[in-house]
Structure 1
C-alpha cells in the first residue's frame, strides 16, 4: 500500500513539473516576441530630421466645410485664411453650359430646391440651368443641420453671411484662387448622355478657366477622359496607377485617399518624379506621418486644424529609437527577474541554507511513514514555503 502511494505521488509530482515547464516555455516565447516586436515595426517618422522634406501644402477640400457650407465662396475664403494654398472643388455642368460647384448628384442636401422647385428636387443637378441654380440658397442647410457642431462658434455676422450663400460657379472660385496666388484641383463630373453638354463639357470647363484669368498651369485636371484635349492643364488621377500607365496618360500627379497611399507607394512615385496628394487628411498625427513620408500636399476638410502643425508631432532618429527600445527591454527583464525572486524568496533562501538534499518527494513520503522527528518537521515547513 505504501509503495502504491509512493508511485502515485511521484507521478503527480512529475505531471506538475511538466506543466510548470510548459508554462515557462510559453511565457519565455511570448516575452521574446514582445521584446523583438519593434523589429517588425515601420514608421516613416523614424528618420534623420535633416532628410525631412518641406511641409506639405494644404488643399482646402471643398473649402473649409467645417467652418462654412461646402463649395461656397465663404468656405473657400475660410480655407485660404487658414493657410490653404490650393482649393479643391466638385464641378458639375449646368444644362446651359455653366460649370458650378456641387458635390451631390442632386441639389436636395445643400440647397432649398425642395422649397423652390419641389417637383424637381430629385432631378440631376446638371439638368437645371444656371439662373435656376443661382436662385437657390446654399447656406441655410448648414446652419440648421450643423454637420460638424461648429455653428455655435460662429458670430452673428458670420451666420448672416452664411445664411445668404448661393451656389458658387467655377469662375468665381477660380478668380478667388487667382487673387490669392493659389491653385485649383478640379473633380469634374461628366454630364449624363442625355445632357445637351455631354460632348462639350470639357470646353465649358476650359472656357471658365480662361474667363477667370487664372494661369492654366495652376489648374489640375482629374477626370480620366478627354485628357488629349486639355494638354495645357496639369494632369492628375484619383486612383493608384502603375508607372507605365502614368507615363502613357501624361499624368504628373496622383490624388489618393490616405487608406490607399502606403509609405512604399509614396516613395516609389516620388522616385519617378510623380507628386502625390493624399486626401481626407484632417488629423494632425496623420498629417505628420504623411509629412515624414514626403508627400507634396494633402487635401483636407480641416485646414484650420492642420495650420497649427508647424512640425511633425512625432519625429525620432533611428539611434534614439534603438536606445529607447533596448533600454525598455533591459528594464523589463530586470523587473521580471525581480518579481520572480520576490515570489520565490523562501525557496531561494531554503536552497542557499544547505537544505538542497531534501526534496518534496522525500518530505511527503516521510509524512506517510508517520515520521515525527525534528528533521521531518523542518522539511514540512520548507515544503509549505516553497
Structure 2
C-alpha cells in the first residue's frame, strides 16, 4: 500500500470515528482521540461478552475491542486467555480436562460454560459469544470495532476465517490488530481495505517497513513518549495505546497526541 493510500484510510477512519452517534458527547472525541472500550466496558461487566460491549456503547465509547481465538472445531469465539479457566466455570463443568485450553473444546462444549459469574452474581449465565454473535449484536450500535487475533500461530488459518466472518457479519469502522506482525501482514493480503494495527513497540528504525502494510502502531502506554508518537505519525500511521484507566494518565496521553486510548473504563475517558 502506498503512503497516499494509507493516509486516506487513516483520514477516513478518524472522520467516521469522530462522527459516531453513540453515547454522550465526549471531550476525547472532540479532540480526535478515539475512546476504545477494552474487551468492552470490562471494569463494569465481564470482559468479551455482548453485555460488556453494549454497556460500552451506553458509556460513550467510540469503538469496542475484542479478542478472537479458535475452538477445536474451528469456531471463532471471544476469549482473551489461552485457557478458559479465568473467566468461565470450566474447572467445575469439565474438571478432568485441565489445562482447559480453548483449542481443546468444541463450540458446543463451550456453550455450556458460565462466563459471567466470576465477575459478579448479577452476570450469572452470561455466555462466551462467537465472533459472529458479537458482530451481529453490535453492528447497528454505531460503534467501531478493534479486533485482536490472539496467538495466530496456535490456530492455523485463523486469519482467513476471521476475514470471512468480517465480510459476512460486520458493517462499520474496523481495525484488526495482533502481536503477531507476520499474521497481520498475511491478513492485510486477505483484506487490504481493512486497517491493520501492530501491537507492541517496534524500534523507530523499523517503522518505515511496517508502514508498508500497517496503519496503526499500538503500544502499551508506559512505552510512549511524545517523540515516539511523532515518529509514528511521521510515517502516516496512528497510535492506539493501552490500557489506561487513570484520568491523569489519559490526560498525559492526550497531550502526546495519540489517536486512540484503549481503556477498561470508557465512561471515565468520555467524561474527561
TM-score range, shorter chain: 0.7 to 0.9
- In the alignment, structure 1 residue 273 sits paired with structure 2 residue 232: no
Kindly tell me: are residues 191 and 236 of structure 1, through their superposed partners in 2, closer, same or farther at Cα, counting changes over 3 Å?
Answer: closer
Deviation at 1:128, TM superposition (A): 0.9
Contact in 2 for aligned 1:68/1:142 (Cα 8 Å): yes
Give the gaps of 5 or more residues in structure 1. 1-52, 145-158, 310-386
Contact in 2 for aligned 1:96/1:130 (Cα 8 Å): yes
SS of match in other structure, 1:305: helix
Q: How does 1:133-172 map to 2 (within 5 A)?
A: 133-143=110-120, 159=122, 162-172=123-133
- In the alignment, structure 1 residue 220 sits paired with structure 2 residue 176: yes
User: Following TM superposition, where does structure 1 have runs of at least 4 consecutive aligned residues deviating by more than 3 angstroms?
Assistant: 190-193
Distance (whole Å) between structure 2 residues aligned to residue 98 and residue 232 of structure 1: 24
TM (norm. structure 2) is: 0.80
- In the alignment, structure 1 residue 233 sits paired with structure 2 residue 206: no
Distance (whole Å) between structure 1 residues aligned to residue 65 and residue 46 of structure 2: 14
Q: How does 1:1-386 map to 2 (within 5 A)?
A: 54-143=31-120, 159=122, 162-190=123-151, 198-215=155-172, 218-222=174-178, 223-224=180-181, 225=183, 226-227=186-187, 228-241=189-202, 242-248=206-212, 250-309=213-272
Distance (whole Å) between structure 2 residues aligned to residue 57 and residue 244 of structure 1: 24
Kindly tell me: are residues 221 and 231 of structure 1, through their superposed partners in 2, closer, same or farther at Cα, counting changes over 3 Å?
Answer: farther
Contact in 2 for aligned 1:175/1:213 (Cα 8 Å): yes
Contact in 2 for aligned 1:63/1:301 (Cα 8 Å): yes
Distance (whole Å) between structure 2 residues aligned to residue 276 and residue 191 of structure 1: 22
Deviation at 1:72, TM superposition (A): 0.7
Give the gaps of 5 or more residues in structure 2. 1-29
Answer 1 or 2: which has greater strand percent: 2
The structure whose RCO (Cα within 8 Å, separation 6+) is larger is: 2
Larger Rg: 1
